[in-house]
Amino acid sequence: MSHELLKITGFATMLLACGPSHNVETVPQTTASVSVPGPTAEQAPSLKDLLAKANQDPVLSEWQGQYGGVPPWDKLKPSLFPAAFELGIAVLKAETEAIANNSEPPTFANTVAALENAGRHQSRAETLFSVFTSNLNTEDVQAIDREWSPKIAAAYDAITFNEKLFARLTAVYEARNSAGLSAEQKRLVERTFDMYVRAGAKLDAAGKKRLGDINQELAVLFIDFGNKVLADENTWVVLEKKEDLAGLSDSLRSSYAAAAKEKGLEGKWVVMNTRSSVDPFLASSSRRDLREKVWKSFKNRGDNGGANDANSSITKIMSLRAERAKLLGYASHAHWRMADTMAVDPKKAKDLMMKVWPAAVARVGEEVKDMTAIAKKDVKNLVFEPWDYLYYAEKVRKAKYSLDQAEIKPYFALDNMIQASFFMAGELYGLSFREITGTVPTFRPDIRVWEVTDKASSKHVGLFYGDYFARANKRSGAWAMGYRGRESFTGKVITPITSNNNNFQKGGDKEPVLISLDDAQTLFHEFGHALHGLLSEVNYPGLASTPRDFVEYPSQVHEMWVLTRPVLDKFALHVETKKPMPQALVDKVVASSQFNTGYTTVEYLSAAIVDMELHTLADGNIDPDAFERDTMKRIGAPKEVVMRHRLPQFNHLFTSDSYSAGYYSYLWSEVMDADSREAFTATGNVFDKATADKMRKFILAPGNSTDRAEAYRQFRGRDPEVTALLKKRGFPTK
């Protein structure tokens, strides 16, 4: 049982909004396999029967087939999960009770390693179901999720609160320095013990009872919040006539027509209420009235009153989080959540954000001034509004850099960019990808699968699944998820299975899917998460998940290779001419790379600041709309830019605890990302082998088996410098 599971209070925690679920990275094999004692029949008379039954259940049983076994999507349907959860929890309980009641003195092997080996059946069930809740979240799935999430939360709390189990764990922890443990094993003991304490293992009976109630209530609230937002995202704006298409490229018109056809509105055009559909419209449409309509529909998700209004869910979540933090002895929810991060103290995260914020706000002022000068030629006495920003930014981009996004998009065919990401992985890390779609089960016909091997040895590394297109009942955005993590501590090497999930709009019949440069960078970003899992050499599952403010770093740094010449020459081929993107166009893109960074930084950073301000409140007592509005005013946020995720739709914060008080992580990680890019570019070779080998050895492979700050120092020779981030965004460095 990976100890990360002890923190689950709803299936949403199985995913990172922009990262792998179990951040299944890897570590060189420094530890010999451990003989993990299993419970005897005398210790748990029913366990043998439970295991026999679980091993026959398609949801719970070990995965079969090639590649170390694959998810049995061809055998699964939502109705199988309730019975599987009931049985899986029973097995988990019996396994952990056997560990807790072991009559032998507590040791690393019979306590900590045994816990690592327990709960596999239930873990498989939760992993499979989390794919349903993210990718196939139909009404029957939502109903099962709402019923079982609090029950599963209670099951993990029962493990945390088991006094006999914690006493054994405490004994191993106290003897860790004299038990002959390796550095990796000692770290696992310390992290496991600390996690149990943070989860309430030291509370008295009344405290445990109240904490358990809070966790169960939160599990339901997280699901309700996500379902409300999903319902609002499953709406659209209809473009009724050709005049409504003014300014849109042929490829956009085609994708909106395809979306309309899918909705039974053939002959019309549909802008879905998701970012991948909305942002291109806002950047292209010359119809200001329709831009306003589309923008308001998108930004008001979860904030429209009625059954899908998410504000009441936020209010309850915040109150319960504050109560839980106080119960556990923390000043606020942020202090509790950040205790196991690189930043540790909310003040450090705030300080970093406020180093960047003033320069970003100033840059927005410059950008709005430039755009207003052009906009007033179109609309006299224009009052610049947020739905004008992307549209006029493109006009300024074209005027300043002779660069039109429509000129770039034909070079980024989705299939080519997928292959480009594989090429990057091959050049940097020696990985090879062979498509095996159709030979293993998938949960939809359009899911693609690749076997990943090592080029030099042809040895199997893992599997990679891709779910690339938007559809109803699929959460918005882009994310990575690990289906299975790498481990070896039992003596058997288990290879990773990971996935990427996007929401690209399909083109018309037989037309190639064209994506924007931003979409291509998002694809490489998520693929960076997948590489983090595929390159794992972690021995113990409990050392797989890295701190929240580290996990985005490996994904962000891999975005840099999209615009490198080797990638462009092979894969950025014009959809019609088949010629690679010319250097003159690349130069324009690079010259404009710091263009509009005021907008992108303020849009993101305002959301991160509001998140931290929200979760450092001791009592959590807020009105979400008022708090958002007042905080934006207090920090001097420009009115022309709205938070990237307004609170009523902020899934990162309110579908789990995962990113709460953690949205700053993207900025914290970007400091390391920007500094790491300089490590590659300084060599004069973007695929420099020595630098890539160090990246793999210290950053990607070890998971959390070593301190991540020290790992960065081993890679770079020093701590990361924030000046690299400021330079990357084009802000003053002093």
Question: Which residues have a catalytic role annotated?
Answer: 526
The CA distance from 241 to 254, in Å, is: 14
Q: Hey, what amino acid is at 294?
A: V
DSSP letters, 109-157, are IIIIIHHHHS-HHHHHHHHHHHHHHHH---HHHHHHHHHHHHHHHHHHH
The CA distance from 407 to 712, in Å, is: 39
Find out whether 500 and 526 touch, Cβ atoms under 8 Å.
yes
Find out whether 675 and 724 touch, Cβ atoms under 8 Å.
yes
| Cross-strand bridge partners of residue 449 | 465
DSSP letters, 673-691, are HHHHHHHHHTTT-TT-HHH
Q: Hey, what amino acid is at 563?
A: L
The CA distance from 622 to 706, in Å, is: 39
Structure tokens at 73: 């999507």
DSSP letters, 428-452, are HH-EEEEE-TTSS--SSTT-EEEEE
Query: Sheet of 448-454: strands edge to edge?
Result: 431-435, 448-454, 460-469, 497-504, 479-484
Q: Which residues of 54-65 are buried (b: 16+ CB within 10 A; e: fewer)?
A: beebebbbeeee
Structure tokens at 123: 């873990």
Q: Are strands 460-469 and 497-504 parallel, antiparallel or unpaired?
A: parallel
